[in-house]
Structure 1
């Protein structure tokens, strides 16, 4: 059964079901629930040591490319192509106007009539794109403008091949295509940063009250009040981690996890329903837990030198393990322990399935073979 891909264009905001600023985790979760409509999705990312901070592209065949920013993993740019090709066919609308459909060809003259005069460009800029705040229209199927120099921009009947949606820029502002997404309504309620002070969670939008979660103090009821109910309650602890606990008996049943996949967080609660361990996930592409958790933008904070020290040094998730390890312990790194998260997943095969656990005072780093910290555990 073939459906018609019918989507509305919202310059500077989104396209169809996709909203600029949405997290990679949310978009992939949405696509998973709509597999009948979007059966072919490819994830493209840099598989080098820099994969924690390089952009990610979702190619939704045949029409869509979604570009996500490297650090925040937020939807930065939407590219709609093959307007007249591919299956299913595309119907593109703007407000109450049909721009393109199997029966309507979108041409330069109609774009100008609908959106008015495009943004001015320097005289030596030979690109033929029509650019407006939050959207531009391209007359080439591939590339981002490099192949447009041979097209005469005065041809009113040229057919639009691609539509690109991005956030609007302020007057005089120029944002790089690889920049982070500016705070927008799609981020509301998401964690903007996670500091280690127990932990302190900061939320979008800016100015929202922070939430403090403290080991040995915060209760299951507190978590539900501050973060809502967990997506899953899990009653199986990893016994391999008890070696790092000051009291091995605190991890026996019936301890349980509150899993907040939508925040990139796990909380282990004691039989008395108090938080005794916190796990923060980095959502590194290619790692065993990629896309199970949203990226938690954690930072490890050093202890303030005195009461007046309000800017203690921090190390963010995208620093290499060697840098964070030296920050936590200037001496030699502690002994490590091998962990293979695919042991219980017979159908999962990854080129780098194993990680190592490095224990410090009150903190454990889970590190990939490429020296990226894929998770932090506080206890």
Structure 2
């Protein structure tokens, strides 16, 4: 990898990727890699829908490198790689430069790419006919898209010269066609064949390029989805391995490390400022029909990479659970979750009508266990964006086909869960307290990593708890609202997207 923005060399792998950028890779993985080369990638633009960031595509543009990367919204996986300026990157295919012999004296603009002759005769060989897209305005040029398996080129073509009766090879070899203006890399046999399902088809390659070609024994299998079953149980579906079950209060740190590998970081610091909210009106406010307390959801990796965590890392071995402090968070950034390690505590109750029994009281034990799981949404525009890759989850309700998921707007989640838990609270005061949003600000203080403030209310929240902001922006403060249900704590952005789900 060179440091010049105009001479970066990138190997083309049709249907797979460009250089280290692999189709199917997570937004977290790609953005983290790109940001680690600031001289090579000096400009990074991220575009997303502020109102609907989890269902609309996310676009990562690298203007200094002529690249545009398109990710789907729900899973945040790379679906399309586009080269928009051939002068910004030195493309190589099987050790041959893509632009070699591709320019003529008449075509001087530096952004133009290879000629049709060069693509057809020297690089990729014969192809089936492509498709012609007429100009949308009064431009004299339409676009001819020439597709190969996993790769396509767009050539400007004089609209007056186009005829579906013409031989496309002769037509694109004539003076009526200009060199390619863009190139796309995708998964599929041709662009017309995959265009309609490019953001929904199952990616062939994993979210992390480190997993490509590796055996299960060398690296932990990646997580596809979490299923929150209630009663402290979560089922983890993986890319290739069998599903796993995590039981809060029983699963040990050793179990986590055996299944998911060593954590990326360990965080020990506890912030007890939330404890003031554990009592109101002289009595305890419970988050479940059984006695409990508000979980410490302001910890986890939102505070894991600065403060005293670096010093604590040297005090114990990440891969050795016996050296862990009494209470800590295991941060799995590349898996998209954190686990709170503590002494066994009663988890949340079973969902009504789920068929699961309520958890039994935990016996006193000195064995450290997982007592909370924090699933991160990696929502664009949120304060902790790109610290974790996105975790997807489902909450089954009445049957396997009826469920809430990580893309559900919180208003829908709240309505469904209120109906399920109605009548299960100790009293009406407890139910009202749970539905009143608590505002969490992660953006104030001397250090962004240590600035966790609970503001207790929000003037922009209506009496029904709906976010009133139409653009989903938080004014730079990083404010989110927190809502609790038995065993669940939702951190919600003003646009209704769930930024984080804590299961306890």
TM interval, shorter chain, is 0.7 to 0.9
For these two proteins, the number of residue pairs brought into alignment is 359
CA distance 1:226–1:340, shift in 2 (3 Å): same
SS at match of 1:329: helix
Among 126, 133, 147, which residue is 1:117 paired with? 126
- Show the 5 A alignment for 1:5-20: 5-20=8-23
- Show the 5 A alignment for 1:143-182: 149=159, 154-156=171-173, 158-169=178-189, 173-176=193-196, 179-182=199-202
- Show the 5 A alignment for 1:172-211: 173-176=193-196, 179-187=199-207, 189-197=221-229, 198-205=233-240, 208-211=241-244
Tell me the distance in 2 between the aligned counterparts of 1:232 and 1:320.
Answer: 31
SS at match of 2:38: coil
Residue 63 of structure 2 corresponds to: 61
Tell me the distance in 1 between the aligned counterparts of 2:24 and 2:191.
Answer: 21
CA distance 1:129–1:33, shift in 2 (3 Å): same
Task: Report the CA distance between 1:300 and its aligned residue.
Answer: 1.6
Q: Does 1:135 align with 2:130?
A: no
Residue 33 of structure 2 corresponds to: 30
SS at match of 1:221: helix
Task: Report the CA distance between 1:149 and its aligned residue.
Answer: 4.5
Residue 2 of structure 1 corresponds to: 4
Contact 2:83 2:183 in 1 (8 A): yes
Residue 330 of structure 2 corresponds to: 258
Q: Does 1:334 align with 2:435?
A: yes
Deviations 1:176-205 (A, max 9, x none): 266225231334632111110322111114
Residue 325 of structure 1 corresponds to: 414
Residue 53 of structure 2 corresponds to: 51
Tell me the distance in 2 between the aligned counterparts of 1:347 and 1:53.
Answer: 28
Among 254, 259, 268, which residue is 1:235 paired with? 268
Contact 2:130 2:144 in 1 (8 A): no
Contact 1:265 1:279 in 2 (8 A): yes
Task: Report the CA distance between 1:365 and its aligned residue.
Answer: 0.8
Say what the alpha-carbon RMSD is for the aligned residues.
Answer: 3.0
Contact 1:192 1:202 in 2 (8 A): yes
Task: Report the CA distance between 1:362 and its aligned residue.
Answer: 0.8
Contact 1:134 1:167 in 2 (8 A): yes
Residue 216 of structure 1 corresponds to: 249
| Greater displacement, 363-372 / 147-156 | 147-156
Task: Report the CA distance between 1:257 and its aligned residue.
Answer: 0.4
Deviations 1:292-326 (A, max 9, x none): 11110111223x6xxxx6x2621011111111112
Tell me the distance in 2 between the aligned counterparts of 1:346 and 1:233.
Answer: 19
Contact 2:133 2:143 in 1 (8 A): no
Tell me the distance in 2 between the aligned counterparts of 1:295 and 1:371.
Answer: 17
Task: Report the CA distance between 1:2 and its aligned residue.
Answer: 2.8
Task: Report the CA distance between 1:336 and its aligned residue.
Answer: 2.0
SS at match of 2:128: coil
Contact 1:81 1:161 in 2 (8 A): yes
| Greater displacement, 17-26 / 148-157 | 148-157
Q: Does 1:363 align with 2:458?
A: no
Unpaired stretches in structure 2, ≥5 consecutive residues: 104-113, 135-141, 163-167, 212-220, 279-285, 300-324, 344-366, 423-431, 450-473
Task: Report the CA distance between 1:256 and its aligned residue.
Answer: 0.7
Residue 143 of structure 1 corresponds to: none
Task: Report the CA distance between 1:39 and its aligned residue.
Answer: 1.6
Tell me the distance in 2 between the aligned counterparts of 1:138 and 1:119.
Answer: 15
SS at match of 2:200: coil
Contact 2:339 2:373 in 1 (8 A): yes
Contact 1:55 1:178 in 2 (8 A): no
Task: Report the CA distance between 1:61 and its aligned residue.
Answer: 2.0
Q: Does 1:286 align with 2:302?
A: no
Contact 2:377 2:392 in 1 (8 A): yes
Tell me the distance in 2 between the aligned counterparts of 1:273 and 1:230.
Answer: 16
Unpaired stretches in structure 1, ≥5 consecutive residues: 141-146
SS at match of 1:322: helix
